[in-house]
Amino acid sequence: MSKPPLILISNDDGIESPYLETLATALERDTPAEVLVVAPERQRSAMSHTITLHKPLRVTERRPGRVCASGSPVDCVYIGLVKLAPRPPALVVSGINDGYNLGTDVFYSGTVAAAIEGGLRGVTSMAVSLAPRAETSLDRAVSFSVAVANKLMSSKLPPGSVFNVNVPSDADGRYRWTCLGKRHYEDDVHQREDPRGRSYYWIGGGVAGAENMPGSDCEAVESGVASITPLQLDLTAHRLLVAEPAMSFDGFVIDS
């Protein structure tokens, strides 16, 4: 008797996130898949693609199908895929994140990094984020996530395809295929002093708007439409690679 497909779920808000459990429960109920959650034991936002190589990772099973680890979101997906999953997953899902991951956020986001780790290992993956503090819109974000998950599992996609999904608080069922936009943040570094008189720095500034880029994820959510952005894992700047023969460096010869 064939076993059902497996969905591996992680996030960067931690195992206690109600968004995570609501999504996992819905995927168990409304897809043909078995679900395995491997999530950080605590908040791990903005960790990007951090992976833990120089200290042990502790893994705890909270209950069947729900596991937490002491590392980053990428650690969780790595351990889940390599060690904990009973068979190769059909899909990796990261989220639902409390707050958008739009445009250049993808370079910092632990939510997106977890999905990218799935993609790097050849598994179709999706990251899902909801407008910040939009608890009343969670059910709509979950319904959309389940629909996307079902479609991804039933579609023939290239191995390692990755999708970044953002859902606005006033989502009404509409969505767009989008490119990454560009969000602006207030550059903000506070210098403070600890009780022993030593200086320390606190980094972080709020969102200061986004560039007006037609077709972008930022534009979509601003107009109340969910965005789906396909991501590629090849960061090569191909147009510069094409232009490179026009450049030369004194004393060196281009090897053709």
67's CB contacts (< 8 A; 6+ apart) are 36, 37, 38, 39, 59, 60, 61, 80, 84
pLDDT digits (tens, 9 = 90+) for 177-201: 999 999 888 888 889 999 999 999 9
Q: Which residue has the higher pLDDT, 136 or 207?
A: 136
* Average pLDDT of the residues of the chain: 93
Q: Which CATH number fits domain 6-180+213-246: 3.40.50.300, 3.30.2350.10, 3.40.1210.10, 3.40.50.2000?
A: 3.40.1210.10
Look at the pTM and tell me if it is higher than 0.85: yes
- Residue 134 reports pLDDT greater than 70: yes
Mean pLDDT for 6-13 is: 98
- Residue 248 reports pLDDT greater than 80: no
- Alpha-carbon 197 to chain mean position: 39
Using pLDDT thresholds of 50, 70 and 90, give the confidence band for residue 227. Answer: very high
Kindly list the domain boundaries of the chain, sorted by start residue: 6-180+213-246
pLDDT digits (tens, 9 = 90+) for 55-87: 999 999 999 999 999 999 999 999 999 999 999
